Amino acid sequence: MGEAVAMKEKIANEPVRLSCSVQNYDWGRIGEDSEVARLFSLNSGLHIEPSKPYAELWMGSHESGPSFVVENGEPDGGSSGFESVSLKTLKLWISENPSVLGDKVVKKWGTNLPFLFKVLSVAKALSIQAHPDKELARALHKSKPKLYRDDNHKPEMALALTEFEALCGFVSIEELKDVLHDVPEIIDLVGNADADEVLHINEKYGEKRVKSILRSIFTQLMTVSENAISEAVFKMKRRLNMENTVRHLTDKEQLVLRLEKQYSGDIGVMSAFFLNYVKLKPGEALYLGANEPHAYISGECIECMATSDNVVRAGLTPKYRDVQTLCSMLTYKQGFPGILQGVRLNPYTKRYLPPFDEFEVDHCILPQGTSAILPVAQGPSLFLVTAGEGTMRTGTGLSVEKIEKISEGSVHFMPANTEISVTAIGGMQLYRAGVNSKFLSEN
């Protein structure tokens, strides 16, 4: 009996290979052009469908895109994927083996993996959206459970794999004044009264008053009639195309014309003028707190977030729009968002540490034949290999318990307190998502 328990604990404290889920949203990149499709095919053994959009690879325990424990073996390369994938989800496996999360994680989040790890391949702009804080998430889940499927908040971070474009947070008041001077179609929609309030803001105005004015004009814009929006977008498009013959359009103006081609006559096209246009280079990361407006535009990224799928949408989407909820929930903070460059842990590894307890992300680039030891974490981790191949040595204490080959598309769950070293056979790149190390190091 004691030996059986000890064996179960040993197995539970070893890394487990995962077979992960894919989301085929229509904004995803098509077939072979999608990094999500490539990694999903390598992970699952399933073939890429050439005409299908592949938008998101999900790694974690959320019911909307669960990962499954792989008991033994490799992908068979056929239509069935892993021959030895158990029917056991990672969520169920963790609930049966809660010690893999570590004491601090269990104490705060119970037997739930607190983060969700993704890869995104974006061909077409995602919706103008925000994610609710915990209090609002609980209220929305209770009142509209089919639309808001869980009661958790969703802070998130996007780490660029390629050049990556996004809209994020409100522009400064000075920039918004310029918008009202330069985009007359917006004044046509919101009216002179709201526009004048913005134009007369000065340094004597307190933060609360400025936010109230911004909230008023943004809500007015987002709630105008569809006919008025369509007419204003058409007028703006015609004006910008004419002006493009005599001057160089700004980056924001060019972006708005791109959005109009994707979502003709949509209020999201106009609201883009209110939001910061962010361009990330590969290796740069953008993080977003609850109740902040944003929309990913194009590119591919690693994404990590609290375990939630709650999205409040209000533009650039054919899906349900909850405009009043979005306009009432936003923080209305202004200014350009902070960009994370990563902090070097060793010659091959950078850490991206957002101000959220639930997660952080490490990026490891290993040249041929090199090795890296990753810091022991008191919480769980998910590992994804995005390029190359190598070996992974894991254990607890000084003894090596397991050596496993890893390659592109490999995804592993790592229990808390696991020692990990990785060695590249050729070159290799991998990403690790884990619970925020600052949270874990607190007493």
Residue type at position 406? I
State how far the Cα of 434 lies from the Cα of 157, in Å rounded to an integer. 13
State how far the Cα of 416 lies from the Cα of 379, in Å rounded to an integer. 4
What DSSP element (H or E) covers 196?
Answer: helix 192-199
Under 8 Å between Cβ of 345 and 352: no
Residue type at position 200? H
Using the structure block, give the residue that is written with the tokens 């490799």. 74
State how far the Cα of 417 lies from the Cα of 77, in Å rounded to an integer. 34
**What number of other Cβ atoms are within 10 A of residue 6's Cβ?**
10
Q: Exactly one of 29, 38, 313, 351 is catalytic; which is it?
A: 313
**For residue 303, which phi and psi values (nearest 5 degrees)?**
-130, 140
State how far the Cα of 360 lies from the Cα of 296, in Å rounded to an integer. 20
**What number of other Cβ atoms are within 10 A of residue 94's Cβ?**
23
Task: Name 234's Cβ contacts closer than 8 Å, sequence gap at least 6.
Answer: 265
Q: Alpha helix (H) ranges present in 316-430?
A: 323-329
149 catalytic per annotation: no
Q: State the virtual CA torsion across 40, 41, 47, 52 in degrees, nearest 10.
A: 30
Q: Which of 117, 158, 122 is nearest to 33 (CA)?
A: 122
Under 8 Å between Cβ of 100 and 415: yes
Under 8 Å between Cβ of 63 and 92: no
Q: Alpha helix (H) ranges present in 244-370?
A: 251-262, 267-271, 323-329
Q: Output the six-digit token pair for 110.
A: 């119970």
Secondary structure, 3-state, 32-100: HHCHHHHHHHHHHCCCCCCCCEECEEEECCCCCCCCEEECCCCECCCCCCECCEEEEEHHHHHHHCHHH
First and final CA of the chain: distance in angstroms?
36
- Catalytic residue numbers? 313
